[in-house]
Amino acid sequence: MLARSTSARRGGWSGFQRRYAPYIFISPFFILFLVFGLFPILFNAYLSFQQWQPGTGLGAMKFVGLRNYTDNLTDPTFWQSLKNTAVLAVLSGLPQHLIAIPVAFAVAGVLRRMQHLVTAVYFLPYITSIVAISVIFFTLFSWQYGVINAALSALHHLPLIGGLFPADRINWLGEKAYVQPAIALVVIWRYTGWNMLLYLSGLQAIPKELYEAAAVDGATGWQSFRFITLPLLRPIMFVAVTLSLIGGLQLFEEPFILTNGTGGAGQAGLTTIMYMYRTYTSYSDAGVAAAMSWLLFVVIGALTLLNNRLFGRSGLAGRD
């Protein structure tokens, strides 16, 4: 009531602009979202039930019911793209975290003044354009003359550990079995530093007193890692894994450029987003492409929920 009387006292323009200013200030976001965010989603849903070639004009749209969906679900290439996407998401996602966590732990453990420099170096790939990265790796992956094969063969000739590395040159981007590992390698290279940084900030948020108390109680290094660090790192781990999962399922740029847009040998590098892009641009089948994006949306949604269930709040022992 008191608030009301203040605003009533200031009548006219001053009261008006005072009351409506916040709405006006936030309106650009909502207007843009309606036009370029929500409307496309609804239009996409509508489109997924139509048969339509964009070149023929809006009048040529024809309602076909669920046929675009059944077309996709009976299309072996769609299933292959989905499988490629899933394999790539795991193959590129998991190692990022398996590398990032120990590195973050090492950085937090031994580095002091050098810490910023080192994290900046690890972060470099994340701020570099995927086109640049993919083009660079395309040459590094070259079969006969590539740096990666040269390095592997040098490592193969080392004593003791040489047996761990392949004797023959690998045809990274030309042989079906290696296309996915090659793409995954580039993705891992690009995002491990980013994950390392997330884990590092998580590690630094853990109060040092906990470690000191554990040391007083005679805990070993492994025990304090297992019973203090890991549980307290879990929330950030959840965020990082969720981000990798959602990103991995929408992989487009790396495979697109590394395979020159073709999907690579045996179409092993054809992700669902790539296939959708191809369906729209090369086959100009907007309806089928729209239905495909909704199918992928369902897959992403389902996997994100599953990840929430397995890894999210419910799995936490106690509060944070």
Partner 1 sequence: MTTVKATDDRPTPQPRTRSRGQVPPLPQLGAYLLIGLGAVLTVAPFYFMFVFATHTRTDIFQLPPPTWFGGNLGENYTHLMERMPFWRNLWNSLYLAVLTTAATLFFCTLAGYAFAMYTFKGREVLFGLVLATLLIPSTLNIVPFALIMQALGWIDQPRALWVPGMASAFGIFLMRQYIGSSIPRELVEAARIDGATEFGIFRRIIVPLTGPAMATLGLVTFVQSWNSFLGPLIIFRSGETYTAPLALRTLQSVANTDWGALMCGVALTVVPLLILFALASRQLIEGLTAGATKG
Residue where the block lists tokens 């290696």: 178
Burial (CB < 10 A; 0-12, 13-18, 19+), residue 37, is exposed
**Taking the complex as a whole, how short is the minimal distance between the CB of residue 141 and partner 1, in angstroms?**
11
Binders of partner 1 in range 23-82 (CB under 8 A): 23, 25-26, 28-30, 32-33, 35-37, 39-41, 43-44, 47, 54
Distance set, CA 304 to CA 34, 92, 241, 256, 307 (Å): 25, 17, 10, 24, 5
- In this complex, which beta carbon is closest to partner 1, that of residue 267 or of residue 308? 308
- Evaluate whether 269 touches 258 at the Cβ level (below 8 Å): yes
Phi, psi dihedral angles at 316 (to 5 degrees)? -75, 130
Site string for partner 1, 146-165 (x = CB under 8 A): xx--x---------------
| 300 to 319: interface string for partner 1, x by CB under 8 A | x-------------------
Q: In this chain, which stretch among 64-72, 83-91, 269-277, 308-316 interacts with partner 1, using CB under 8 A?
A: 269-277
**Minimal distance in Å, beta carbon 270 to partner 1?**
15
With tokens 């090369």, the residue in question is 282
Indicate the SS3 state at residue 51: strand
Interface with partner 1 in residues 181-210 (CB under 8 A):
189, 192-194, 197-198, 201-202, 208
Min CB(51)–partner 1 separation in Å = 14
Phi and psi, residue 168, nearest 5°? -95, 155
**Residue 247 structure tokens:** 């990103």
Closest CA to 222 of 73, 105, 135: 105
Q: 297, 307 in Cβ contact below 8 A?
A: no
Residues 91-120 that bind partner 1 (CB under 8 A): 99, 102-103, 105-111, 116, 118-120
Kindly state the tokens that stand for 213.
């108390």
**Residue 21 in the binding site for partner 1 (CB under 8 A):** yes
User: Which of 109/159 has CB closer to partner 1?
Assistant: 109
Residues linked to residue 62 through DSSP beta bridges, in sequence order: 51
CA end-to-end span of the chain: 41
Longest dimension (CA), the chain: 87
DSSP state of 64: -
d(CA 132, CA 264): 19
Report how many residues bind partner 1 under the rule CB under 8 A: 101
State which of positions 206-265 bind partner 1 (CB under 8 A): 208, 211, 215-216, 218, 220-221, 236, 239-240, 243, 246, 249-250, 252-253, 257, 260-261
Give the residue with the Cβ less far from partner 1, 19 or 177. 19
Asked if 6 is part of the footprint of partner 1 (rule: CB under 8 A), the reply reads no
| 133: contact with partner 1 by CB under 8 A | yes
Structure token pair of residue 35: 């036009």
Residue (120 or 316) nearer to partner 1, CB: 120
Least Å from the CB of residue 150 to partner 1: 5
Considering beta carbons, is residue 80 or 250 the nearer one to partner 1?
250
Provide the 8-state DSSP code for 101.
H
Smallest gap from residue 38 Cβ to partner 1 (A): 9
